[in-house]
Amino acid sequence: MIEELEALEPFRDEVRRWCAEHVPPNWRTEQAGADHHQFAAFHRWWGTRLREAGYFAPHWPAEWGGGFSLLQQVVLGQEFARADAPRNGLYQVALYNAGPSIIHAGTDEQKARFLPGILDGTVWCQGFSEPNAGSDLAGLQTRAVRDGDHYIVTGQKVWTSLAMEAEYCILLVRTDPTAPKRKGISYLLMDMKSPGVETRPIRQATGQAEFCEMFLDEVAIPVENRLGAENDGWNVTQATLSSERGAVLVELAERLLRNGTLALAEATKGWTNDEGQVASQDPAVQEILGARYAESMALRQLLNTMVTNVIRRGGVGPEASVVKLFYSELLQRIMKDAAGIAGPSAQNAQPALMSAGWESGAWLYDYINAFGWTIGGGTSEIMRNIIGERVLGLPRDPEPKGA
C-alpha cells in the first residue's frame, strides 16, 4: 500500500494546501466550552467549507458527491489529522450511517429524497439502543404497528447522540413481535419533527449532555420511509454498523497518534513530580510513552492491513472489529496514563471541546469521555465475540430460546 500512497502525493499536496488555507487556526480556543447550539453552528459552517471543496462525503459514490478511492480517503484522514482540522462530528450519523444505509438498501425514490438533503447539511441521529437493548440490540422492544400507509411507533430509545440537533433519525423498530429477535425488526427513516417525538438530554460524567433519551408516543411514520423489506431491518443494520466501523477509523487512529500519544509525550516535558523532576525524564514515564507509541504504530499497521484487504476483496470484513476494539481500549489507556502522569493538575476543570472528539487535551475529561468508545458502535464484549467467531472460527455462543 505504501507504493500506492506514494502515487497519490499530488493529491496529498492538494489536500494539505487546502487545509493550510481553510482550517481555522484558533478553532480550539473559540470552541472550548461551546454549548450545543454553538457547536452545531460552527459545524454547519465547517460542513459548508468541506462541501465547497468536495471533501464532505468522499466515501459516497461519485453520483452522490463522493467517488474518492479508498486510498484517497486515507490521505484525507491523514491530512485532516495532521492539520488538526475539527472533526466533522455533527454529521457523523448522516454521512457514515444514514447515507450509506440509504445508498445500500434504499429505493431510487428514497435516494433522491434523502441523499441530497444530507449533502446539503441535514443532521441525522441514530435510534438503535434502548434501555434494555444496548449490547443485545436485537432485543429491542420499540413497537411499530402498521396502519394503512403508516407505521404507528411507540417506545423509547437511549444514548441517541445529538438528537436535539437532528432533523431525521434512522430508527429500528419491532414490526413482528412473534418472530425470532432478528427476524421481526424493520428499519425506518423518521422525521424528528413528527408529533409524538420527545427528546431529553442525558447529562454525562463529563458534564456534557451530548446524548439524549428519545420517547416515541404513537408516532406516525410513512411506510414509504421504510428502508428495505418489512422485518428485514437487521440485515440493513449490519451494513450500517460495518460502515461505522470501517474507513472512519483511519482518521480517528491518526488523530489518536498525533493528539493523543505524541501530544502526551510533548506535554510531559512541562510536567514535574513532587520532587521537581520533569516527567519526561522519569524512566517509568518513558516506559509508558514508549509502550503507547508502539501500540499506536501497531494500530496504524492494523489499519493498513484492513485497507489493503478492502481493496483486494471489497467491503469491510470482521477485521474492522479488531481495529475498533484495539483503538477504543488504546484510547482509554492513553488518557488514563495522561491523567495519572499529570497528577493533580489534570483534575482542574477545563471547558469541554466537543469538536476535538476524544483527544481535546483536557486529559481527565478525555479519559472519562473515552469510556464511551468501548460502548458505542458495539461494546468491547461484542467485538470480542465477533473476533472469536468470525476471525478465529470459535464456536458461537448458544442462542437463547426464541432468538
Q: What is the CATH number for 127?
A: 2.40.110.10
> Which pLDDT score is estimated for 320?
82
Let me know whether 343 and 382 are in one domain: yes
Residues known to be catalytic: 244
Choose one of 200, 231, 262: the last residue of a domain.
231
Instruction: Classify residue 238: in a domain, yes or no.
Output: no
> Is 159 a member of any domain?
yes
Instruction: Examine the domain organization and report whether 254 and 372 are in the same domain.
Output: yes
Q: Are residues 227 and 279 in the same domain?
A: no
d(C-alpha 292, C-alpha 329), whole Å: 11
Helices H / strands E in the chain, number of each: 15, 8
Number of domains, the chain? 3
Cα distance between residue 47 and residue 57, in whole Å = 10
Strands 168-174, 124-127: pairing is parallel
- CA 73, CA 393: separation in Å to the nearest integer? 31
Which of 37, 60, 87 is a domain's end point? 87
- The DSSP secondary structure of 336-371, one letter per residue, reads HHHHHHHGGGGGS-----GGGTT--S-HHHHHHHHG
Q: CATH number, domain at 341?
A: 1.20.140.10
Q: Which three cell numbers stand for residue 346?
A: 489534570
Does any domain span residue 283?
yes
**Residue 176 Cα to chain centre, angstroms:** 30
Note whether 308 and 340 are same-domain residues.
yes
Which pLDDT value is given to residue 399?
Answer: 67
The position carrying cell 473476533 is 387
Which run of H or E residues covers position 151? Answer: strand 150-157
- Each of the 403 residues of the chain gets a pLDDT tens digit; together they read 666 777 899 999 999 999 999 999 999 999 988 888 899 999 999 999 999 999 999 999 999 989 999 889 989 999 999 999 999 889 999 999 999 999 999 999 999 999 999 999 999 999 999 998 877 888 999 999 999 999 999 999 999 998 999 999 999 999 999 999 889 999 999 999 999 999 999 988 877 788 899 999 999 999 999 999 999 999 998 766 665 455 677 888 999 999 999 999 999 999 998 788 999 999 999 999 999 999 999 999 998 888 888 878 776 677 788 898 999 999 999 999 999 999 887 777 777 787 887 788 889 889 998 998 888 777 899 889 989 998 899 998 776 665 5
Any domain includes 78: yes
- Which of 182, 208, 231 is where one domain is finished? 231
Residues 294 and 381 placed together within one structural domain of the fold: yes
Q: Are 60 and 148 in the same domain?
A: no
Q: Where are the beta strands (DSSP E) in 16-66?
A: none
Do residue 205 and residue 284 come from a single domain?
A: no
Query: Is residue 339 situated within a structural domain?
Result: yes
**Do residues 137 and 58 share a domain?**
no
Asked if residue 111 is part of any domain, the answer here is: no
Instruction: Supply 297's cell numbers.
Output: 504504530
Model pTM score: 0.89
Domain residue limits at 67:
2-87
Measured distance CA(301)–CA(297) in Å, rounded: 6
Instruction: Enter the DSSP assignment of 314.
Output: -
Q: 217 and 317, same structural domain?
A: no
Q: Are residues 323 and 223 in the same domain?
A: no
Residues 67 and 130 in one domain: no
Neighbours of 393 (CB within 10 A): 7
Alpha-helix residue ranges (DSSP H) falling in 187-318? 233-244, 248-255, 263-267, 283-313
Same domain, 386 and 249: yes
Q: How many CB atoms lie within 10 A of CB 205?
A: 10
> Looking at residue 56, which CATH number applies to its domain?
1.10.540
